[in-house]
Amino acid sequence: MILHAALEIRGGEERAAYLDEVCTGDAALREEVESLLAAHFADETFLEPVADLLWREPRREGEGDMIGRYKLLRQIGEGGFGTVFLAEQGQPVKRQVALKVIKPGMDSKEVIARFEAERQALALMDHPHIAKVHDAGMTEAGRPYFVMELVQGVPITRYCEENHLETRERLELFSDVCAAIQHAHQKGIIHRDVKPPNILVSLQDGKPMARVIDFGIAKAIGMELTEKTLLTQHGRMMGTPQYMSPEQAEVHPLAVDTRSDIYSLGVILYEILTGSTPLDGNQLRHATYAEMLRLIR
């Protein structure tokens, strides 16, 4: 009766006053009731920290945060599963880099395998027109990241138009891109998403310098880029339809080889020289999947 009555009293001071009154002169009774009350309230709250962890939104890294020895300055890019930051390395040398990290909640086995495949693909290559990988690691939350050479520039098509390049100059710039893709192929890597936003151009020593970036859906030829299982799901298109070869649009991974990248290069060359692509991007974006396949073929 005393315990039930005490539980009905909300305030701690009022409950203590009630116990003073009903347990007068009986210290053992008072101690037993207080022990039961403590156990009751502990039962009500002991799962709260767990529930809080389960329902709490995973924290995303942002400006000023540290990942390893790198300080995040600002976000400069975002994809389906990863975020790219402009970051500053302090030791052993001070420099700005690009840091790519998997988004919170996106660290499935498939995403991690694809992320590690991109990192390994970049590590295999050493070419002046391909962004280099510097470092890799895990965040405190257990999500992988890797650090790349910072490539600042604009898409190759935009650079050509804004700077009114002559045809010869456009072809020279495009030739550097071809050399980069050839190097990737020689290392056994198919890019599979060759398009202007993945070819950035900036001035270096007063001359335009093209760099190929984003090997996020790259495919290896005759080797594994990661020990983790990496599956390209049948029925899921990977790449950008406007620049995609017909065989890549078929969503059959075995049908894609180096010729798919060469096809994409041809589309980019067409766009650099004419100002448009063979297929209308707006039409492809609004087409059904079946209609898109028909147009690409």
Residues annotated as catalytic are: 193
**Strand extents, DSSP E, the chain:** 66-67, 70-78, 82-89, 95-102, 133-138, 144-149, 154-155, 189-190, 199-204, 207-212, 219-220
Amino acid at 255: A
Give burial (CB, 10 Å; 0-12/13-18/19+) of 133: buried
Distance between CA atoms of 278 and 243, rounded to whole angstroms?
9
Distance between CA atoms of 18 and 13, rounded to whole angstroms?
9
Q: Establish whether the linkage from the previous residue to 144 is cis, with ω within 30° of 0.
A: no
Residue 147 pairs in a beta bridge with: 99, 135
Burial of 148 (0-12, 13-18, 19+ CB in 10 A): buried
Residue written as tokens 């880029």? 225
